[in-house]
Amino acid sequence: GDAVRLRFTFRSGEPAAFSIRGLVRWTRTSRSERGEPGFGLEILETDAATRTALLARIAESGPRAFIPRGPRP
């Protein structure tokens, strides 16, 4: 996947901007039976404060794992 650096803030809660370095593992450009448009990110590097905030946010929102099986025949 492509290497990316993301800088973002959440709409509610934490006032600080977060920065993550990661790899894009999958993308979905339009809505389908598999879900909404989006992407999967493998986080490679972030600071301790960002890691703590992300883990708290994931715990609050109920994580949804998605691992694509690859192209359908």
Taking only the tens place, the pLDDT of each residue in 13-45 is 666 788 899 999 888 899 888 778 888 888 899
Q: What's the rounded Cα separation, in Å, for the pair 53 and 51?
A: 6
Residue 72: pLDDT band with limits 50, 70, 90: low
- Which stretches does DSSP call E strand in 9-70? 18-28, 38-45
Is 46 within 8 Å of 7 (Cβ atoms)? no
Span 56-60, average pLDDT: 82
Whether the model clears a pTM of 0.75, i.e. scores above it, the answer is: no
Q: What's the rounded Cα separation, in Å, for the pair 35 and 38?
A: 8
Six-digit token string for 10: 């959440």
DSSP character at residue 34? T
CB count within 10 Å of CB 51 equals: 14
At 4 the pLDDT is: 92
Instruction: Please determine, for residue 57, whether its predicted confidence score (pLDDT) is greater than 60.
Output: yes
